[in-house]
Amino acid sequence: MSTKSITFEAFFAFVTFFAFIAPSFASSILMQPATTYILLGEPISIPITATYPTTYQLSLDTAAIQEASFYIHQIQFKPPQTKGDQKEQHGVLTVTPFEVGESTFPSLTWTLIPTPNSQPPTPNSQLLLKSPPIKFQVLAPFLPEEIPSDIRDIKPPFALFPWSWAISVAILFSAILWYLWRHKYKSKLYSSRLQKMTEQLPAHEQALKALESLIASGLWEEGGAKIFYNTLADILRNYLDRRYEIPSLYLTTSDLFRQMRAAEIERSAIQWTKQVLENCDLVKFAKYNPTDADREQDIYRIKKIIETTMSHTNHHSPNHPAYRQAGNHHPI
């Protein structure tokens, strides 16, 4: 082979290289996302800058991309801008990640297609460009400790205060307080009535009057059995205190019985007193629920105690008014 033919072949290869391959050296694809930290299932837009010769146009077949970690929604390009013998085109690629952790968006193959009727004429062949792969850190949602400072967590839902429950509890609590106050007030009221009864009344009249007031109070009918029996015991103890000057309000039930026997009070009255006060203690301390028959029987016993003892003078109490009126002699 002659030197001239070798030189011609070399020259032909050199021209072909620049005609077909050289344009690719002047072409590039840049894809630079604003951040590489993205959330699972959240679309992210990746800016694209493409530079290629003016005699070509850029194309990407998104349907041919097989990538399980990302879903490609769309690609949008603005019209290219010509700068000398180069075109610069900007666009946006929108994708969504579907795997948590470090995921790499793959390198995409772009096609440079010769422009029809381009000047100067270009060979009828396509050139391929590769965009660089991009590594992303895909974060799971609702994990604020894994999200960098440039991503703000969503605010938690606003919890409503259970006003309906709070109002219901307040009403119930108020009703209980009112009920307790009412019954306690009535108890104090009847106790104060016993104390305010004039000392000029004989002990038996004072006791009978207090007993009638208690029966007419309606405490029993309203379910206040405990207060009713507490007041019943106070009436009986006050009567014994005034009638025989026994400090019955400050004595236990057993101590009261001993002092009644020492004062030589009738045995029947002591026995009735024992039955009444024991029933009062059962209601007060053992939470016994007395019946209507128990109530009537205890009222009857107190009346019998008063009836049995009021006909006798208080010869055990020299300070009794009847004693003073009689000049320290026993009244008839």
> With contact defined as beta carbons under 8 Å apart, do 50 and 29 qualify?
yes
Q: What is the 3-state secondary structure (H, E, C) of 230-264?
A: HHHHHHHHHHHHHHHCCCHHHCCHHHHHHHHHHCC
pLDDT at 17: 46
> With contact defined as beta carbons under 8 Å apart, do 110 and 48 qualify?
no
Question: Between 168 and 298, whose confidence is greater?
Answer: 298
Residue-wise DSSP of 16-58: HHHHHTHHHHT-EEEE--S-SEEETT--EEEEEEEEEETTEEE
pLDDT at 315 over 60: no
pLDDT at 18 over 80: no
Residue 72 to residue 90: CA distance in whole angstroms: 18
pTM flag (> 0.85): no
Which band of pLDDT confidence, cut at 50, 70 and 90, is reported for residue 214? very high
Cα 58–64–69 angle (5° rounding)?
110
Residue 43 to residue 46: CA distance in whole angstroms: 10
Q: Give backbone dihedrals phi and psi of 103, rounded to 5 degrees, phi first.
A: -125, 140
What percent of the chain has a predicted confidence (pLDDT) above 90?
25
Which band of pLDDT confidence, cut at 50, 70 and 90, is reported for residue 199? low
Which band of pLDDT confidence, cut at 50, 70 and 90, is reported for residue 19? very low
Edge-to-edge strand list for the sheet holding 37-39: 37-39, 134-139, 101-105
Residue 44 to residue 71: CA distance in whole angstroms: 10
- Tens digits of per-residue pLDDT, 27-61? 888 888 888 888 887 888 899 988 888 888 888 77
Residue 239's alpha-carbon distances to 43, 130, 177, 209, in angstroms, are 93, 114, 33, 11
> With contact defined as beta carbons under 8 Å apart, do 93 and 71 qualify?
no
Residues 6+ apart with CB under 8 A from 311: none
Question: Between 179 and 44, whose confidence is greater?
Answer: 44
Find the range with the poorest average confidence among 33-37, 160-164, 213-217, 240-244: 160-164
Helices (H), 41-132: none
Tokens describing residue 18: 């620049």
pLDDT at 62 over 70: no
Q: Which CATH code for domain 21-142?
A: 2.60.40
Domain ranges for the chain: 21-142, 163-325
Mean pLDDT of 219-247: 92
- Tens digits of per-residue pLDDT, 236-257? 999 999 999 899 889 988 899 9
Residue 331 to residue 323: CA distance in whole angstroms: 7
- Give SS3 for 117: coil
User: Mean pLDDT over all residues of the chain?
Assistant: 77
- Interior/surface letters 237-261, b for 16+ CB within 10 angstroms, e for the rest: bbbbbbbbebebeebebeebbeebe
Question: Between 143 and 160, whose confidence is greater?
Answer: 160
Mean pLDDT of 283-288: 90
pLDDT at 159: 62
Which band of pLDDT confidence, cut at 50, 70 and 90, is reported for residue 154? low
Question: Between 293 and 323, whose confidence is greater?
Answer: 293
Single-letter code of the amino acid located at 17: F
Neighbours of 167 (CB within 10 A): 10
> With contact defined as beta carbons under 8 Å apart, do 138 and 81 qualify?
no
pLDDT at 60: 78
Question: Between 244 and 329, whose confidence is greater?
Answer: 244
pLDDT at 327 over 80: no
Which band of pLDDT confidence, cut at 50, 70 and 90, is reported for residue 230? very high
Residue 197's alpha-carbon distances to 192, 206, 207, 209, in angstroms, are 9, 7, 10, 9
Question: Between 314 and 240, whose confidence is greater?
Answer: 240
